[in-house]
Structures are given as structure tokens and as C-alpha cells.
Amino acid sequence: MFRRHVLKLIFLGATVLSGTAYAFDTPREFRIGYQKNGPLLIARQQKLIEKRLEPLGITVKWVEFSFGPPLLEALNSGNIDYGTTGDAPPIFAQAARANLLYVAALPAAGSGSAILVPEGSTLQSLADLKGKRIGFSKASSAHALTIAALEKAGLTYADITPVYLAPADGAAAFQRGAIDAWTIWDPYYAIGERQKGARVLASAKDIAAQNSFFLANKDFTTKYPQIVSVVNDEVAKASDWAKTHRDEAAVLFSEATGVDLDAQKKTVERTEFVFAPVSDKVAGEQQAIADRFFKLGLIPAALNIRDIVWKWTPNS
């Protein structure tokens, strides 16, 4: 108990020296929702967060999710404290009055997602999607990308038949020809390119920027802002490491997921590891997606994304 007390004092002193004084209280456990990709997986593999929190008596618990919406449900309910998703899930969560905050972002140009069609498909442009069955995960970044693609082509949501499928189900439906196109993100995108006879109809980079976000439970963040800041700092270190160790990152992702190393190398090559606070630009891009969803009636009311953006000042 004495050792833990001293470590807390050291932690408090360090935060004061960095220019920010925090409450003395710390939680017993920090629960992270993760998917097997990105800098959060690197932080987990390298135990960066454990090295910072466990000396303070805080146990780190990792909870795996296959995609964003269920992760945010757990975040809202308080079953996890922190996690990462693509751009669309937080919008649907905010529309449902979820108890969460944007605490950081991974800005991206959108090169890690695409709309795929079978190799022999007659579809040649986004306009050709009219009347077609497009598979994607509901309330996911793929959902947002599909809508942006239709808008770019002068089509409406009513011009297609959406087929809501989780990534694994989407891969199976695409392979057996049950859908005409599949909107998906890496590493499923890279796997589709390599193994499923897929052709890229359009990359997200030619349609719209697709940012990823790090979110935290609002109550937890309000009570323990210093913990969220520390965790963000460690994830930032993982992201910086990946920029200069891309081959090693690909091996790490391949070992964690069982996905072919060549597919993971392709995924890492087109990932922009830029972990940062949520900027006005990124918030504006997220606002545009929310406005598009509201216009289509996919969320019940207009949202102000900035209402739930938490200001993080990096310390490392």
C-alpha cells in the first residue's frame, strides 16, 4: 500500500510538472475495447499501457471486438472505458445519446477502404452501382463510405439495395456472388484483393476522407482525465513506432490475426499512423458525415459533433 501511495505521488508530481494538475484518485482497472488492427493493437502487444498504469495499481483489461458498433455499446454501458472505431459508429452512438467522448483521432486520407466488385463484374464506375446489391456493415465506416460514394455518383440511397453484413459475412457473400459490390476496410480489403478475385471499383481516397477515432466513456473521462491522457500518450508512441517499423508492424498484425503476411504488409503500407487530438478539420469531416446521415433519415436528429469532443493535450 505504501509503494502504491508513493507511485501515485510521483504520478501526480509528473502531471503537475507537465502543466496539468489532476485528481489524486485512480481506478482499480482500465478496460480497453480493441480490434486487431492499428496502433492500439501495437500498444497491447508491446504492453505500453500496462507499463504506465500497473505501477499505479491499475490493472489493464483488453476486450476484443470485430467491429465498431458493439464496441461503442460496451463503451456506453460502462463495460469498457476506452476504445477505437471508424467514423460512422460514434455518430450513431451520439444520436442514441451514448455516454461517450471523442478523445483522439487517427486522421486518414481513406486509402485503407474501398468498394470492391468481382473480377469479372461489368461495373466500371460508381454510377453503375444503381440498382445493385451492395454489402457493408450497418452503422460502420463502410456504411458512411457507401453513402458518400453514391452522393459522388449523383445517386441516392434508394438507388441501391443495401445488404447489411458483418465483415466475415460480407466476405462470404462476396465470394459466392450474393452481392454485386462490397464496401470494406483493411485488412479485409487487402484479403479480398488477394484471395477473392476482387477488383477495386473505387478507393475511399477518391471518395472521402475516412478518419478513425479513439473514444472513452464520458463518466470515466470526467472522473479520471489524467488516465485517459496517459493512455493517449502511450497509443501515440505505438503509432509513432509503426511509422518507422512498418515491416515489424505487419508481422505483429499477421501474428495477432492469422491474416496472411502479404495482406498485412499491404494494409500497413497504406495506413497513415498519425495519432492526434481531434482537430477542427477532423471534427468538420465528421460533422459532414453526421449531416449526411441526418439528411437520409438514418439518425433521428441533427448532431453537433463538437459537443462530445474532449480536448487532449499530448504530454509526450
Task: List pLDDT tens digits, range 189-234.
Answer: 998 887 667 999 999 989 988 899 999 999 999 999 999 999 999 9
Q: How far is CA 142 from CA 116, 170, 197, 289, in A?
A: 11, 11, 20, 12
Give the pLDDT score at 19: 36
**Superfamily covering domain 2-108+211-308:** Periplasmic binding protein-like II (3.40.190.10)
Distance of alpha carbon 228 from its chain centroid, rounded?
Answer: 17
Nearest to 29 by CA among 214, 310, 275, 217: 217
Nearest to 81 by CA among 44, 32, 34: 32
**What is residue 259's three-state secondary structure?**
coil
Q: Which residue has the cell 500497413?
A: 268
CA 112/CA 203 separation, integer angstroms:
8
Average pLDDT, the chain: 90
Task: List pLDDT tens digits, range 17-65.
Answer: 343 434 447 899 999 999 888 999 999 999 999 999 999 999 999 999 9
- For residue 304, name the pLDDT band (cuts at 50, 70, 90): very high
Give the pLDDT score at 36: 87
Task: List pLDDT tens digits, range 162-184.
Answer: 999 998 999 999 999 999 999 99
Architecture (CATH level 2) of domain 113-206? 3-Layer(aba) Sandwich (3.40)
Q: What are the start-end ranges of the E strands in the chain? A: 29-34, 59-64, 82-85, 100-106, 113-118, 133-136, 161-164, 181-185, 198-203, 212-217
Give the pLDDT score at 109: 63
Give the domain ranges of the chain: 2-108+211-308, 113-206
Q: What is the pTM of this model?
A: 0.85
Q: Do domains 2-108+211-308 and 113-206 have the same CATH topology?
A: yes
